[in-house]
Amino acid sequence: MEEIRITSQEFALFQRLIYKIAGISLNDTKRELLVGRLAKRLRHHSLTSFSSYYRMLATGDHPQELQIMVDLLTTNETYFFREPGHFAFVRDEIIPRHKGPSAFRVWSAASSSGEEPYSIAMLLADTLGEAPWEVVGSDICTKVLARAVTGHYALARTEGIPSEYMRKYCLKGVRDQAGTFLMAPELRQRTSFRQINLMQPVDAGIGEFDVVFLRNVMIYFDHPTKARVVHNLLPRMKPGGYLIIGHSETLNGITDNVMTVRPTIYRKP
């Protein structure tokens, strides 16, 4: 099949579609990226134009294909203990203030392939010991969630993990698993994953959290989408709970319902 090109009108259709579903604003510089990632889906379905692929998605009759499209167009760059100052703040400032017998709960709301929630899990296991704790990771992309559930990573991904945590919580593979490591069972037992679209109200069944990480995802959103996402998150935070965002992000002008503790760290009254 010859190269499939996309017209400006077709690109605009996909810009509106991914914005409607995931809140992601694809500017014109992402045109080649979209073509590169979606052209193989057109070939898979023997389609000859992006218009025909869009019509297939827009009918609502192919929800699995729509999810594949979302998975291909979402960015999932992540690594262990990214922005380490946030983890130090949780350890030194938030956990010591936790009172009562209830479990200390943390939600990694854009968890990608799991490096962030497992980083949190290592920290909580080390700091809280036998006290109850739980980590929930969520993402809109099913492909990365499937990887996260396994807790299985290449050893090349270990940069950033403290050596003590490597010894305690990372099981190095042998024989046919050489070159990889597995998160320890005691971490995986307390870390769960689920698909959540932050553009929609979050099911109350997920419970409430002491800390919510929402890092390095709002950079892909415009102002109304940022406000919508934060509005959907806030009901799932406990009173006095903390919201942590990325170092290149801010909630200034986004919401008045949290107080600034320090740049990128906010608290719900």
Active-site annotation, residues: 37, 139
| Identity of residue 179 | G
CB 211 within 8 A of CB 179: no
Closest to 139 (Cα-Cα) out of 129, 147, 150, 130: 147
The kind and range of the H/E element at 152 are: strand 152-154
Closest to 169 (Cα-Cα) out of 182, 152, 150: 182
CB 57 within 8 A of CB 109: no
The angle formed by the CA atoms of residues 138, 124 and 201, to the nearest 5 degrees, is 25
Closest to 70 (Cα-Cα) out of 228, 192, 216, 195: 195
Helices (H), 193-243: 223-233
Instruction: Tell me the C-alpha distance between 108 and 100, whole Å.
Output: 23
Query: What are the Cα distances from residue 74, in Å, to 30, 143, 144, 217?
Result: 12, 10, 10, 10
